[in-house]
């Protein structure tokens, strides 16, 4: 079968197209003939072996696929625990389903589980034109948010966030980002921030946070780590919450019901996943370059047949 395989950790150039044996599913596993595979920013960390858990070589990166459960030959095959395989409802295509599985579940749990969003609270969504961000902007008000403030790196990305329902959009490159976030909230500090960059964005977000506000960090795109003190949190009555979706997969109730909710919203037209470019599997390297270069919007996909 065709697959992207990593034999050495490093930059996008380590992503190589390979011909690998068809995997044999074990007990409790299903074999999927893949029609589309999803790309997530976490895949760039896996490629470098800089993610939250270490990887071993050789590595076939990626965490989500859509297709049909079968046993005959196909362009690409993937075996997975049956407990993490979900039927795609009628009216939801494979690209939309892939946008909802990891990135949709992340957005849902950022509000419900990590931030524990309360009715009417103001929300900041950073990287609002990305896979998680576009969904988080749309889910904010249905899940109870008041004012929704998006941040993004370009004018067209900020325009997309406003189209998806944000009340205001801020340039994440603003010299005083904390002040820009407060200004976008009518001069008031914000209640909840969803943050996945680290570095200056993390610090500015914390500076913009209101008393009893929660900053939820769910990524480290900048590769810059931050340090905070307990005294600062005490002084401002603030919370910093970490979130990693992997911790939800041990509890079926944290996956099945939220995913059904997301699928239902998409089927009713209430949630519109933004599908970005579909790259040939042979051009996975370009996909990673575009993703890290901030040249993408929405959910990125791979076509295994090309």
User: DSSP assignment of the chain, as one string?
Assistant: -EEEEBSS-SSGGG-EEEE-PPP---TTEEEEEEEEEEE-THHHHHHHT-SSS---SSB---S-EEEEE--S--S-EEEEEGGG--PPPTT--HHHHHIIIIIIHHHHHIIIIII---TT--EEESSTTBHHHHHHHHHHTTTT-SSEEEEESSHHHHHHHHHTT-SEEEETT-TTHHHHHHHHTTTSPEEEEEE-SBTHHHHHHHHTEEEEEEEEE---TT-B-----HHHHHHHT-EEEE--GGGGTT-GGGTHHHHHHHHHHHHTTS----EEEEEEGGGHHHHHHHHHTT---BEEEEETT-
Q: Which residue has the higher pLDDT, 70 or 22?
A: 22
Mean pLDDT of 222-233: 94
Q: Note whether 52 and 244 are within 8 A (CB).
A: yes
What CATH topology corresponds to 103-247?
Answer: Rossmann fold (3.40.50)
Q: Which residue has the higher pLDDT, 30 or 153?
A: 153
- Buried/exposed 125-158: b ≥16 CB within 10 Å, e otherwise: bbbbbbbbbbbbbbbbeebebbbbbbbbeeeebb
Mean pLDDT of 201-219: 97
pLDDT of residue 30: 81
Question: For 280-306, what is each residue's pLDDT tens digit?
Answer: 999 999 999 998 888 888 889 999 988
| 107 contacts: CB under 8 Å, gap ≥ 6 | 132, 135, 136, 139
Structure tokens at 235: 């002084």
Q: Which residue has the higher pLDDT, 168 or 64?
A: 168
Mean pLDDT of 187-200: 97
pLDDT of residue 89: 81
pLDDT of residue 24: 80
Q: What percent of the chain has pLDDT over 70?
A: 96
Residue identified by tokens 């998006």 is: 150
Q: Kindly tell me if the per-residue pLDDT of 14 is higher than 90.
A: yes
Q: How would residue 207 be classed by pLDDT, with cut points 50, 70 and 90?
A: very high
d(CA 86, CA 82): 8
Q: Report domain extents, the chain.
A: 2-85+275-303, 103-247
Question: For 66-105, what is each residue's pLDDT tens digit?
Answer: 888 875 444 555 666 666 778 888 878 888 999 999 999 9
Q: Kindly tell me if the per-residue pLDDT of 138 is higher than 90.
A: yes
Q: Kindly tell me if the per-residue pLDDT of 262 is higher than 50.
A: yes
| 2-85+275-303 and 103-247 in the same fold | no
Q: Which residue has the higher pLDDT, 92 or 182?
A: 182
Question: For 31-63, what is each residue's pLDDT tens digit?
Answer: 888 889 999 888 998 999 988 888 899 999 888
Q: Which residue has the higher pLDDT, 35 or 151?
A: 151
Q: Which residue has the higher pLDDT, 76 or 191?
A: 191
CATH number assigned to the domain covering 2-85+275-303: 3.90.180.10
Q: Note whether 18 and 4 are within 8 A (CB).
A: yes
User: DSSP assignment of 21-90, as one string?
Assistant: PPP---TTEEEEEEEEEEE-THHHHHHHT-SSS---SSB---S-EEEEE--S--S-EEEEEGGG--PPPT
pTM for the model: 0.88
pLDDT of residue 73: 44
């Amino acid at each position: 079968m065709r697959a992207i395989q990593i034999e050495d950790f490093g930059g996008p150039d380590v992503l190589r197209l390979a011909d690998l044996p068809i995997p044999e599913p074990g007990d409790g596993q299903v074999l999927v003939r893949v029609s589309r595979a999803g790309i997530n920013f976490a895949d760039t960390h896996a490629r470098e072996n800089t993610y939250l858990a270490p990887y071993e070589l050789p590595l076939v990166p990626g965490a989500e696929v859509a297709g049909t459960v079968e046993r005959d030959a196909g362009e690409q095959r993937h075996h997975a625990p049956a407990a993490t395989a979900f039927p795609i409802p009628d009216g939801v295509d494979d690209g939309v389903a892939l946008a909802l599985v990891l990135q949709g579940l992340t957005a849902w749990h950022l509000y419900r589980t990590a931030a524990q969003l309360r009715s009417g609270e103001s929300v900041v969504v950073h990287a609002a034109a990305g896979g998680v961000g576009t969904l988080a902007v749309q889910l904010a008000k249905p899940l109870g948010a008041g004012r929704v403030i998006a941040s993004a790196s370009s004018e067209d990305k900020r325009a997309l966030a406003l189209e998806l329902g944000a009340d205001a959009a801020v340039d994440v490159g603003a010299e005083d980002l904390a002040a820009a976030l407060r200004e976008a909230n009518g001069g008031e500090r914000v209640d909840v921030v969803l943050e996945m960059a680290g570095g200056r964005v993390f610090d500015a977000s914390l500076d913009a946070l209101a008393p009893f506000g929660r900053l939820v960090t769910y990524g480290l795109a900048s590769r810059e780590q931050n340090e905070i003190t307990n005294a600062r949190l005490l002084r401002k009555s603030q919370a910093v919450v970490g979130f990693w979706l992997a911790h939800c997969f041990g509890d079926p109730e944290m996956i099945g019901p939220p995913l059904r909710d997301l699928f239902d919203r998409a089927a009713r037209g209430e949630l519109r996943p933004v599908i970005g470019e579909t790259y040939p599997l042979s051009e996975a390297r370009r996909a990673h370059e575009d993703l890290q270069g901030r040249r993408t919007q929405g959910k990125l996909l791979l076509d295994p047949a090309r």
